[in-house]
Amino acid sequence: MKKKSILFLILLALGLVSCNPTKQKEDAPELIGPKELTLTSNRMTPEVLWSMGRIGEVVVSPDGQTLLFAISYYDIPQNKGNTELYTMKTDGAEFTRITHTPGGEYNPRWRPDGKKIGFLSAENGSMQLWEMNPDGSNRKQISNLENGLNGFSYAPDQSKVLYIADVKLKTTTQDIYPDLPKTSGRINNDLMYRHWDHWVDTFSHIFVADYNGKEITNPVDIMPEEQWETPMQPFGGMEQISWSPDSKQIVYTCRKKTGLKYSLSTNSDLYQYDLETSKTTNLTSGMMGYDMNPVFSSDGRYLAWESMERNGNESDKARLFVMDMDTKEKLYLTENFDQNVHSLAWSKDATKIYFTSNWHALDQVYSINREKGNILKITEGTHSYNNIMVANDKLIGARMSMSSPVELVAINENSGEQWQLTAVNKPLLDQLKMGKVEERWIPTTDGKEMLTWVIYPPDFDPNKKYPALLYCQGGPQSTVSQFWSYRWNFQMMAANDYIIVAPNRRGLPGFGQEWLEQISGDYGGQNMKDYLSAIDALAKEPFVDETRLGAVGASYGGFSVYWLAGNHNERFKAFIAHDGMFNLEAQYLETEEMWFANWDLGGPFWDKNNKVAQWSYENSPHRFVQNWDTPILVVHSELDYRIVASQGMSAFNAAVLQGIPAEYLYFPDENHWVLKPQNGILWQRTFFKWVDRWLK
């Protein structure tokens, strides 16, 4: 998989980006678009889930009156998806589809004058920059770059375009030995030779090109070191780069380290590039954690960004900083706010910054006064916002819940009133019956209270007894908020007549930094007790059959399942572990982002004087495998370089060697996620076939 596709595919899997077509000419390639489905049941199925449209990137027009956004759809028989562009007025009127192509359109942008829409498309081969009128007419290609590009943005004065593109590493084996052009061997002499799901042969650089309204010319690479990258892999996008309003400066996020130093550090900085002098200045020198996602105020006087304090802690508190660009004075605005800040957006008058933040497993919209630091919570409700934008007198957000995919919503800042603008999946959702989602607070073993989501089957009957599934979250520091997943979909699980128990155990954000950080250095500790507190509390309910309990999870959730398999005291009758860590000693030497392993595990297993590290490795799931006594389904993928496939193979082999019923679902072409439609459906069918076999 090419590096440039990782973020897009991840967001597709989460339902946070887009894809969709309609009818074209009869001789044109078949398009993938919204399906007119009449369901035979009101229960969610994998096929229905994969037929839903997924709203993606959204941008507001320069006049603040029109939204431009993408919607993605998948075609199961074709085993692929497609993304098309739409426009809509910010009051919800004039919902219009403006592209109808089989190749898809990505990274939509309004040109600053509002007269054109720019986007990326691979219509003629490689991904290139195109433009069209706001109604979709007069579509023209304006770049012709040999290797294409991965993202772009216009300079505010329209004189330039910046874009990101891959730069090939010049020290490959073929470069060293040109007489061996067909060799497949790789010579590695440093770390970070592969990352998440790709071997590192290229690095993403920023280029600045002249733009005359018809084409881009004279591109300049503003990153002189070959192995520097912007955006940062694997989750970064164009949000890590910002134009100054006068078009004279570019501020970008970069971790200017390579090899071993890169693998040990999260210390990224914001760099200011001056287009007139070609000089680059580090704006955040001495700030040791992640500094990223810069956003200029409309007058260019201030720069806001997200900042983490400590090097090596990728789950540190995401703080809001503002810099006065005249004096370079930095102000920490959220010092007394024990929550993370994301998706920053300035008010038009530069007096406020809007952001999203998670508290008690709900992502709401907030504002903060730049001068006084007063924070106001704008939205309420059982949902989560993952983005926020300003559109004249209203805010526009992307909102989802455990019962609804992402839809676009308008927000009145003063009253907090929210009204839904899009209804992409209404024809399907109107035919489905969703299960009730309930918030419970459950006592933990150390005297605290833990928020646990309980999702009930549709047509729930309190007089019946249901099997229950304990959901173990990955990350480990990622929230169990009101998210809609196209794999770990709670409504899908509930539709198969299971009670779902999803605890916000120790190590999750939204409950203060102390709650979040407790898990680091305590794998197999308090958070495992939290899991058991949650399932034990629900097992006491008269509608739960305590003899039919299962535990499921991926990544750290997969680790949790493996650990519980050796320490559950006969609570569970079935397990499913996806991409889980099984042997922590092996995992330490197999993974690539060493800052993560060092922070969360405490360091290498050979450091016998490190009590935190020794505790971690003593609690590795493979050390309890002799206690396994319960059927287990293991899922893993070959392109997962974060937690390699041998971890899953080892767990499966351990079960079979002990005579424990086990299955191993293996994907040779997937990474840490499952992104292809037919693989996704196979995953769902295998999941429910397994739990039904042992719990029903």
pLDDT digits (tens, 9 = 90+) for 441-496: 999 999 999 999 999 999 999 999 999 999 999 999 999 999 999 999 999 999 99
Tell me, what's the pLDDT at 3?
36
Tell me, what's the pLDDT at 33?
66
Give the percent of the chain with pLDDT over 70. Answer: 95
Average pLDDT over residues 21-47: 66
Tell me, what's the pLDDT at 596?
96
**pLDDT, tens digit, for every residue of 15-25?**
333 333 333 33
Q: What is the C-alpha to C-alpha distance for residues 243 and 147, in angstroms, rounded to an integer?
A: 24
Average pLDDT over residues 83-103: 95
Label residue 64 exposed, middle or buried (CB < 10 Å: 0-12, 13-18, 19+): middle
Residue 695 parent element (H or E): helix 677-695
Is 265 a known active-site residue? no
Is 205 a known active-site residue? no
Q: What is the C-alpha to C-alpha distance for residues 316 and 313, in angstroms, rounded to an integer?
A: 5
Read off the pTM.
0.94
| Residue pair 67/92 in contact by the 8 Å Cβ criterion | no
* Ordered DSSP codes for 251-279: EEEE----HHHHHH----EEEEEETTT--
What's the mean pLDDT when you consider all of the chain? Answer: 94
Average pLDDT over residues 500-512: 98
Residue 622 is classified by DSSP as G
The residue from 61, 481, 555, 650 that is catalytic is 555
| Position 207 pLDDT exceeds 50 | yes
Angle between helices 594-601 and 611-618 (to 10 degrees): 90
**Which residue do the tokens 């806001």 mark?**
304
Interstrand relation of 202-211 and 160-168 (parallel, antiparallel or unpaired): antiparallel
The verdict on domain 433-695 having CATH code 3.40.50.1820 is yes
Average pLDDT over residues 625-631: 98
* Ordered DSSP codes for 113-176: TSS-EEEEE-TTSS-EEEEE-TTS-S-EE----TT--SEEEE-TTSSEEEEEEEEE-S--HHHH
- Residue 102: band (very low, low, confident or very high) from pLDDT cuts 50, 70, 90: confident
CA-based nearest residue to 250, from 218, 272, 230, 269: 272
Tell me, what's the pLDDT at 173?
86
The residue from 268, 522, 640, 650 that is catalytic is 640
Q: What is the C-alpha to C-alpha distance for residues 15 and 56, in angstroms, rounded to an integer?
A: 7
Label residue 271 exposed, middle or buried (CB < 10 Å: 0-12, 13-18, 19+): buried
Secondary structure (3-state) at 110 = strand
Is 383 a known active-site residue? no
CA atoms within 13 A on the CB side of 405: 32
- Residue 644: band (very low, low, confident or very high) from pLDDT cuts 50, 70, 90: very high
Tell me, what's the pLDDT at 35?
67
* Ordered DSSP codes for 433-461: -PPPEEEEEEE-TTS-EEEEEEEPPTT--
CA-based nearest residue to 320, from 282, 356, 360, 288: 356
CA-based nearest residue to 388, from 421, 344, 329: 344
Q: Kindly give the residue spans of alpha helices, DSSP state H, lying in 543-593.
A: 556-565, 584-590
**pLDDT, tens digit, for every residue of 130-175?**
999 999 999 999 999 999 999 999 999 999 999 999 999 877 788 8
Tell me, what's the pLDDT at 224?
87
Which has the minimum average pLDDT: 9-23, 181-195, 623-637?
Answer: 9-23
Interstrand relation of 632-637 and 574-578 (parallel, antiparallel or unpaired): parallel
Which has the minimum average pLDDT: 33-37, 59-63, 690-694?
Answer: 33-37
**Which sequence spans correspond to the domains of the chain?**
433-695
CA atoms within 13 A on the CB side of 155: 20
Q: What is the C-alpha to C-alpha distance for residues 99 and 685, in angstroms, rounded to an integer?
A: 34
Structure tokens at 304: 């806001």
**pLDDT, tens digit, for every residue of 515-549?**
999 999 999 999 999 999 999 999 999 999 999 99
Average pLDDT over residues 577-593: 97
CA-based nearest residue to 92, from 317, 533, 394, 298: 394
| Residue pair 297/251 in contact by the 8 Å Cβ criterion | no
- Residue 31: band (very low, low, confident or very high) from pLDDT cuts 50, 70, 90: low
Q: What is the C-alpha to C-alpha distance for residues 620 and 696, in angstroms, rounded to an integer?
A: 31
CA-based nearest residue to 692, from 408, 495, 485, 449: 495
**Which residue do the tokens 């320490």 mark?**
567
CA 39 to chain centroid, in Å, comes to 30
| Position 1 pLDDT exceeds 50 | no
Please give the single-letter amino acid code of residue 13.
Answer: A
